[in-house]
Amino acid sequence: MDFWFILGVILKMSFILGVALLLYAPVFVLFERRQSAMFQDRLGPYMGGVKMPPFVIENIPLLQMGGYASAAGAGATALLALVMCFLGESEEPGLWLLPISWGTLLILAALGAPAQAVGAMVLPHLFYHDRLTLFGGLHALFDAVKAFTKEDIIPPKADKFLFGIAPIIAMIPAFALGAVLPFGPDLHLDYLFDQLPNEGVIDGPMTHLQVASLNVGILYMFAVGGTGVIAAAIAGYSSDNKFALLGGIRAASQMVSYEVTLGLSLVGCFMLYDTLRLEEMVVWQAENTFLGFLPAWGIFYQPLAFVLFFFASIAEYKRVPFDAPEGESEIVAGYFLEYSSGKWLMFMIAEFLEVAISSMLIAVIFFGGWDVPGLGRSGWEAFGYHFDLTGTNWEFLSDVANSHLFVTVVSIVAFLGKALLLGILSLQVRWTLPRFRYDQIMQLCWKLFLPLSLLNVFVTGILILLFQ
Amino acid sequence: METNYEELDEDGQLELPAEPMRLNMGPSHPAMHGTIRMVLDLDGETIVDVDIQPGYLHRGFEKSCERGSWNQVYPYVDRLNYVSPMLNNVGFSLAVEKLAGLKVPERCTWYRMILGELARISDHLTCNSASLMELGAFTPFLWCIKTRDYVWDVLEQETGARLTHSFGRIGGMAKPPTDLFKEHTLAVLPQVEEAMAETEQLVLRNRIFLDRMQGIGKLRPERALALGVTGPILRSTGVDYDVRKANPYMFYKDVDFDVPVGHDGDNYDRFMVRFEEVRQSIRIIRQCVEKMPDSGTVNIDDVRYVFPEKQDVYDTIEATIAHFKIVMEGVKVPPGEVYSFTEGGNGELGFFIVSDGTGTPYRVRVRPPSFLNLQACREMLVGDMIPDIVPTFGSINMIGGECDR
């Protein structure tokens, strides 16, 4: 337990929670609100924002022009660098006495030009009238601030201790689940800028991009995720409200039932990957291929399990059409009916965090986690050809593209992107589907999902035996 | 509430003797429109008994009518049914005209029919889409409400108000049709058809929707008749009673339309009957537009009931006197009593009016379809579950103004 280890753990924890809290939660909220605004021809979440001084607002067109101009300059530089690379002058340019090679300049300028152009393009959209809103992203933040400053009402006959502790319990699984999610390949700190070999053990300091590499992996997720039901049950029980009680009972029975499907639908995956560790699941998916050309992602091997798991996880975080525990038109708001202010916000944050975490989990198990097709530890390769330009003027391109750091960053971004898309997909169903009735949810679980997940285990077992 | 738990035990429904939970739902509850209170006795989520208590929107409509002139009743009937006020306007006009023995010009009758059917369309669109929204499907609600706004655009163009038109008059209408009335009416009909087709496409093959609607909130035809249920709810049970067909008023016997009926009397049938009625209304409107004359007056030529032309009021002493008398004393309906009934948005809308010959109604009694339909609500709900209250109560389309009066 040295200092660096603890620092690494803290950094990784901050990363995964930061992504979930500061990226996914606002994006999901924003997405939902934007969609609802689009439907209803409303403005959308643009009222929350930081008021900017007038000269900033007035000079936005000027800034935009500047952005376009510098993008054009960078484009010209890139062209010049490209020409120089063609002419074979990849050595240090004499021009401007810049101590970098034409190749590096090409990369910097070629990346910088579109970045500046896009920046200039979106610049006016970051503002709404005289406020900085960041596409409405700040609205979620202001909502949170607003919620915390509201009056915190506790019903007089409520059980004060349980009433207060329920939202805290709701937050625990949402935060703790992030611990075992691998968000990137192993990072070898000594070779950040080098190209790694594709096989073999690499010595030197190394860190898993994962807070805790547990040998029980996925079982930990179920164990911790299962505690979420306690929060809902306690909240419903302690609120001294019959609607809340009904909501709590519905939430408890629904979550407990779907835990079973959630677990059983993954058994096929355990059998296939032969491990419980999430990071090894990703490695298995990255190393194999499906039918020779597709990546060996879980969704191709276990499509039924994916469907079951996806819908069971929607039921698990109680969103439409499985939102009977909240059922706003029948039991008003269900188990958190009596909650206000920050406590209510904690339930909402927990809900959005659960969406984020389960999207990440689905990405890890069924979509290869951080695996990008054609990107291995040693860099880019496809159909047996490795992206390697050694010996040409373009050597620097493959050097950068195949460097360990670049590969890692691309992998992490790919993982986050997959999870984001999955999360948005699960939010998308909200607007069209009617809500299930509570007993229909149960029937769906025990009479359809559970037999199907058992069937999936059975068929997977037979297939594995046949093809081994 | 008397429940024999030993019986329940034999049925195997209740393993341990337990008291039902009493739950007050409403009037401040999202599904109760703010005007109804339901006292539920629950066994788990199953409704053992329900006591439905209307009356939270009682405004003394009938009494209020007795203090103004006959034409001053129109704003009140608007507010009886605030999703299809034009049908109430027309219904009240017909009642007074029946008592006074007036016969309005042909053009006026066609005009009333078109406006009334437009109101029926807006009523049914609202009811069906709001039921869907309360089930959680938000998109169809927005589609249908957007289309309802188009319908209201036409009504606004004709009457000057989107919701509370107060447009009917004894012996005619407040204004003749505008020049573009027919074109705009015909233009809005395809929009309605499209919105309905889209909605049906979205929900009718949706397993969740079907599970929530089919077999829920069932009502048998004999019970429906015994309880005085009318309108789409009665027709959904299979009884083809429609005032427009059974006792044709206005020119409904001259237009060609069908009366859609269901056979189960459940939520799904009510949903489908309403949408099918919108289709029939569209059919009726198309025929009416064809038959409605383009010129001619909409008011009867009788200065005892209708204001004379403004120019005549200034020019002739007779018209001035007629104007003065209508303004100061009101329309004098001959003494007598009459019951007149029309097909409102929710069923048979009856007006029983008594006149004593003065310019003020002696009694205006409404037979509100919603109130009688609500009687059947208990039978529909008992035995179902709490979530079923939402679609069942939604499909009854209880309009507080008309129910509580």
Q: Is residue B120 part of a domain?
A: yes
Place of tokens 């349980």: A162
* Contact criterion met (CB < 8 Å) for A39 and B139: yes
Point out the residue among A430, A431, A438 whose CB comes nearest to the CB of B45: A438
Mean pLDDT of chain B: 86
User: A40 to chain B: which residues are within 8 Å by CB?
Assistant: 142
User: B139 to chain A: which residues are within 8 Å by CB?
Assistant: 39, 431-432
Q: Name, of A8-12, A96-100, B221-225, the range with top average pLDDT.
A: B221-225
Point out the residue among B142, B209, B386 whose CB comes nearest to the CB of A434: B209
Q: Which of B80, B106, B61, B151 is nearest to B291 (CA)?
A: B106
* Contact criterion met (CB < 8 Å) for B23 and A435: no
| Angle in degrees, CA B217, B221, B222, rounded to 5 | 120
Q: Give the pair of three-digit tokens for residue A311.
A: 């819908």
Percent of chain B past pLDDT 70, that is, above it, reads 96
Domain ranges of chain A: 52-132, 151-467
Q: Which of A143, A131, A121 is nearest to A28 (CA)?
A: A143
Mean pLDDT of chain A: 81
Q: SS3 sequence, chain A?
A: CCHHHHHHHHHHHHHHHHHHHHHHHHHHHHHHHHHHHHHCCCCCCCCCCEECCHHHHHCHHHHHHHHHHHHHHHHHHHHHHHHHHHCCCCCCCCHHHCCCCHHHHHHHHHHHHHHHHHHHHHHHHHEECCEECCCCHHHHHHHHHHHHHCCCCCCCCCCHHHHHHHHHHHHHHHHHHHHHCCCEEEEEHHHCCCCCCCCCCCCCCEEEECCCCCCCCHHHHHHHHCCHHHHHHHHHHHCCCHHHHHHHHHHHHHHHHHHHHHHHHHHHHHHHHCCCCHHHHHHHHHHCEECCCEECCHHHHCHHHHHHHHHHHHHHCCCCCCCCCCCCCCCCCHHHCCCCHHHHHHHHHHHHHHHHHHHHHHHHHHCCCCCECCEECCEEEECCEECCCCCCCCHHHHHHHCCHHHHHHHHHHHHHHHHHHHHHHHHHHHHCCCCCCHHHHHHHHHHHHHHHHHHHHHHHHHHHHHHC
pLDDT digits (tens, 9 = 90+) for B222-278: 888 899 898 899 999 988 888 888 888 888 888 888 889 988 888 899 999 999 999
Compute the nearest-CA separation of A261 from chain B (Å): 20
What is the reported pLDDT for B190?
92
Q: Does B136 touch chain A (CB under 8 A)?
A: yes
Q: What is the tally of structural domains in chain B?
A: 1
For residue B118, give its domain range. Answer: 61-300+337-404
Point out the residue among B21, B30, B387 whose CB comes nearest to the CB of A332: B30
Please tell me the number of Cα atoms within 13 Å of A263 on its side-chain side. Answer: 14
Chain B residue with minimal CA distance to A432?
B137
User: B389 to chain A: which residues are within 8 Å by CB?
Assistant: 330
Phi, psi of A20 (to 5 degrees): -70, -40
What number is the average pLDDT over the span B12-24?
73
Q: How confident is the model at residue A93 (pLDDT cuts 50, 70, 90)?
A: low
User: A242 to chain B: which residues are within 8 Å by CB?
Assistant: 21, 23
Task: Using an 8 Å CB-CB cutoff, list residues of chain A that contact chain B.
Answer: 36, 39-40, 242-243, 246, 320-321, 323-324, 327-332, 430-440
Q: Does B386 touch chain A (CB under 8 A)?
A: yes
Point out the residue among A36, A431, A438 whose CB comes nearest to the CB of B387: A438
Q: Is residue B317 part of a domain?
A: no
| Angle in degrees, CA A2, A277, A402, rounded to 5 | 75
Q: Does B218 touch chain A (CB under 8 A)?
A: no
| Domain CATH code at residue B394 | 1.10.645.10
What number is the average pLDDT over the span A141-154?
85
User: B390 to chain A: which residues are within 8 Å by CB?
Assistant: 329-330
- Distance, in Å, from the CA atom of B76 to the CA atom of B57, rounded to the nearest integer, reads 13
Interface mutation vs chain B, best among A33, A38, A240, A437, most B CBs within 10 Å: A437
Q: How far apart are the first and last CA of chain B?
A: 29
The set of residues, in sequence order, having a beta carbon less than 8 Å from that of A30 and lying 6+ positions away, is: A45, A135, A136, A137, A139, A140
What is the reported pLDDT for A392?
66
* Contact criterion met (CB < 8 Å) for A438 and B385: yes
Q: Is residue B4 part of a domain?
A: no
* Contact criterion met (CB < 8 Å) for B206 and A435: no
ipTM: 0.76
Contact (CB, 8 A) for B343 and B321 = no
Point out the residue among A243, A321, A439 whose CB comes nearest to the CB of B136: A321
Q: How far apart are the first and last CA of chain A?
A: 42
Q: Is residue B35 part of a domain?
A: no
- pLDDT score of A289 more than 80: no
Q: Is residue B9 part of a domain?
A: no
Q: Does B180 touch chain A (CB under 8 A)?
A: no
- pLDDT score of A194 more than 70: yes
pLDDT digits (tens, 9 = 90+) for B263-310: 888 889 999 999 999 999 999 999 999 888 888 888 888 878 888 888
- pLDDT score of B5 more than 60: no
What number is the average pLDDT over the span B375-379?
88
Contact (CB, 8 A) for B348 and A396 = no
User: B133 to chain A: which residues are within 8 Å by CB?
Assistant: 329
Q: How confident is the model at residue B135 (pLDDT cuts 50, 70, 90)?
A: confident
Percent of chain A past pLDDT 90, that is, above it, reads 0
User: A246 to chain B: which residues are within 8 Å by CB?
Assistant: 23, 45, 386
- pLDDT score of A345 more than 80: yes
* Contact criterion met (CB < 8 Å) for B206 and A242: no
